């Protein structure tokens, strides 16, 4: 194992100091063979943790693989990602989650923690083998049918009851399907003008309201994926005030982009839940700062060209997120490093139960960290992203903050802004 001294690094924006990485840990034991890295002007953050990543393997390796997605994550400053279950075959058995977990280990660029499906085939009819996934080598703790909502309240209740035994979490994609049939974008002024079928805010809010009541009744942990409306924030605020065990995430794109982008008819802006209004964006930002929304999660959703560069109505929903997330969050929150570490590393690591991630950069802690150059500006070029897909909504945009290096257990996965392998 190599040792590194990060010279003059600013931990979370603090005074510059040297940080020693040795034997996978942050250390105070000198090592004469250590390699020095000049980190003057760079900020060290605990390695970012993503609760919501679509890696597409198995099944859509043309859009992303565990390896390309892991590289994308490392370049974005991540040291751990939770891989969503809507693969093909669906990650609804111990076999598939173990396969994803093993592929993550082989890639060795971030820790890949599989999420298991709640229902067989994401079909919403029958509970998947949650226990077998939990006791598998993948040690699954979060279950989600993301892409689809667990709409049947009885099934949702059963799932919450089942995971309570091992303190698992049901992560809900909150979308009442009867209210979003044929929906193409947020239901509002812009959808009316464009003549596109709308996805009303209440379709999300109604499911969150129902689910926090179910979670309260059962006493289980609920996590709400990609919260997108001001009304959802209010439901969460009330539930948290009552002590319901609920956590919530927001994506970088819902913190920045609005529904009027649909007027371009460019499917790169098609996403589920859809981009909402400026009022929703403002409420989401405030909720994130306050902690009503606990974390930023990317919902990194790579799609092949033929699934994205087509007519709006036929395009798949979703956008890339891993390589731009931190820059978007910096542009939204400013250089509030401790808050960023809380929302993008410590809290997601705690929710997912990922020991060794989201820990303070203190002597004895695992050396999972990322170095950011806050003064750098970069122009997003889809062709330069490590993801196998190109569907970033930020093509040609200048963003603040660049990841210079990422370390996983003391070994670099990114150096000089480039993936090490
Ligand atoms: O936009 C989305 N894309 N939302 C989802 O819920 C699923 C995801 C995907 O898998 O592409
Ligand atoms: Zn989703």
- Buried b / exposed e over 14-34, threshold 16 CB at 10 Å, is eeeeebbbbebbbbeeeeeeb
Domains observed in the chain: 47-357 (3.20.20.140)
- Look at residue 252 in the predicted model and tell me its pLDDT: 99
Closest to 221 measured CA to CA, from 130, 285, 141, 291: 141
CA 146, 319, 160 angle in degrees (round to 5)?
A: 15
Residue nearest to atom 1 of ligand 1 (CA): 318
- Report percent pLDDT > 90 for the chain: 99
- Site to probe by mutation for ligand 1, drawn from 50, 51, 54, 204 as the one with most ligand atoms within 8 Å of Cβ, is 54
- Look at residue 114 in the predicted model and tell me its pLDDT: 99
> 140 C-alpha vs ligand 2 centroid, how far in Å?
18
Mean pLDDT for 288-303 is: 99
**pLDDT at 231 exceeding the cut of 90:** yes
- Site to probe by mutation for ligand 1, drawn from 83, 86, 184 as the one with most ligand atoms within 8 Å of Cβ, is 86
3-state DSSP of the chain: CCCEEEEEEEECCCCCEEEEEECCEEECCCCCCCEEEECCCCEEEECEEEEEECCCCCCCCCCCCHHHHHHHHHHCCEEEEEECCCCCCCCCCHHHHHHHHHHHHHHCCCEEEECECCEHHHCCCCECCHHHHHCCCCCCCEECCCCCCCCCHHHHHHHHHHHHCCCCEEEECCCCHHHCCCCCEECCHHHHHHCCCEECHHHHHHHHHHHHHHHHHHCCEEEECCCCCHHHHHHHHHHHHCCCCEEEEECCHHHCCCHHHHHHCCHHHCCCCCCCCHHHHHHHHHHHHHCCCCEECCCECCCCHHHHCCCHHHCCCCECCCCCHHHHHHHHHCCCHHHHHHHHHHHHHHHHCCCCCCCCCCCCCECCEEEEEEEEEEECCHHHCCCCCCCCCCCCCEEEEEEEEEEECCEEEEECCEECC
Mean pLDDT of the residues in the chain:
98
> 84 C-alpha vs ligand 1 centroid, how far in Å?
10
> CA-CA distance, 273 to 85, in Å (whole number)?
17
Residue nearest to atom 4 of ligand 1 (CA): 272
Mean pLDDT for 328-348 is: 99
> CA-CA distance, 230 to 285, in Å (whole number)?
10
Residue nearest to atom 7 of ligand 1 (CA): 147
Mean pLDDT for 274-286 is: 99
- Site to probe by mutation for ligand 1, drawn from 50, 223, 257, 318 as the one with most ligand atoms within 8 Å of Cβ, is 318
For the stretch 378-412, pLDDT in tens is 999 999 999 999 999 999 999 999 999 999 999 99
**Beta carbon of 160 within 6 Å of any ligand 1 atom:** no
> CA-CA distance, 64 to 298, in Å (whole number)?
15
Q: How far is CA 116 from the centre of its chain?
A: 15
For the stretch 234-274, pLDDT in tens is 999 999 999 999 999 999 999 999 999 999 999 999 999 99
Q: How many CB atoms lie within 10 A of CB 289?
A: 14
Are 109 and 74 in contact by the 8 Å Cβ rule? The answer is: yes
pTM confidence score? 0.98
- Look at residue 1 in the predicted model and tell me its pLDDT: 80
> What is the bridge-based pairing of β-strands 43-46 and 4-11?
parallel
Tokens coding 248: 């919530």
- Residues recognised as catalytic: 299
- Look at residue 245 in the predicted model and tell me its pLDDT: 98
Residue 303 Cα: closest atom of ligand 1: 11
Q: How many CB atoms lie within 10 A of CB 98?
A: 18
**Beta carbon of 300 within 6 Å of any ligand 1 atom:** no
**Beta carbon of 358 within 6 Å of any ligand 1 atom:** no
**Beta carbon of 301 within 6 Å of any ligand 1 atom:** yes
**Beta carbon of 273 within 6 Å of any ligand 1 atom:** no
């Amino acid at each position: 194992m190599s040792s590194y001294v990060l010279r003059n690094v600013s931990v979370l924006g603090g005074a510059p100091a040297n940080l020693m990485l040795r034997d996978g840990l942050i250390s105070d034991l000198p090592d004469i063979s250590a390699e020095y890295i000049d980190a003057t002007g760079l900020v060290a953050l605990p390695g970012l943790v993503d609760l919501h990543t679509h890696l597409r393997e198995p099944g859509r390796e043309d859009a992303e693989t565990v390896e390309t997605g892991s590289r994308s994550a490392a370049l974005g400053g991540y040291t751990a990602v939770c891989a969503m279950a809507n693969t093909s075959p669906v990650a609804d058995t111990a076999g598939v989650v173990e396969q994803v977990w093993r592929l993550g280990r082989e890639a060795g660029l971030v820790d890949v923690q599989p999420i298991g499906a709640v229902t067989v085939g994401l079909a919403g009819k029958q509970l998947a083998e949650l226990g077998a996934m939990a006791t598998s080598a993948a040690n699954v703790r979060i279950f989600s049918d993301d892409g689809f909502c667990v709409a049947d309240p009885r099934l949702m209740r059963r799932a919450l009851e089942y995971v309570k035994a091992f303190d698992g979490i049901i992560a809900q994609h909150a979308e009442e399907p009867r209210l979003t049939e044929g929906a193409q974008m947020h239901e509002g002024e812009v959808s009316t003008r464009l003549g596109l079928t709308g996805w009303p805010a209440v379709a999300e809010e109604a499911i969150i309201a129902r689910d926090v009541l179910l979670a309260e009744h059962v006493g289980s942990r609920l996590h709400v994926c990609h919260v997108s409306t001001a009304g959802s924030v209010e439901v969460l605020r009330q539930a948290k005030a009552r002590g319901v065990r609920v956590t919530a995430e927001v994506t970088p794109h819902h913190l920045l982009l609005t529904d009027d982008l649909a007027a371009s008819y460019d499917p790169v802006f098609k996403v589920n839940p859809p981009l909402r209004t400026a009022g929703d964006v403002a409420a989401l930002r405030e909720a994130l700062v306050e902690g009503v929304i606990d974390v930023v999660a990317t919902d990194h959703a790579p799609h092949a060209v033929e699934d994205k560069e087509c007519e709006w109505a036929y395009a798949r929903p979703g956008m890339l997120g891993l390589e731009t997330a931190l820059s978007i969050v910096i542009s939204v929150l400013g250089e509030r490093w401790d808050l960023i570490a809380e929302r993008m590393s410590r809290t997601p690591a705690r929710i997912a139960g990922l020991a060794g991630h989201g820990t303070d950069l203190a002597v004895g802690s695992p050396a999972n960290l990322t170095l950011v150059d806050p003064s750098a500006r970069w122009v997003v070029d889809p062709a330069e992203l490590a993801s196998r897909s190109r569907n970033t909504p930020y093509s040609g945009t200048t963003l603040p903050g660049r990841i210079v290096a990422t370390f996983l257990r003391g070994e670099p996965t990114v150096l000089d802004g480039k993936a090490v392998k």
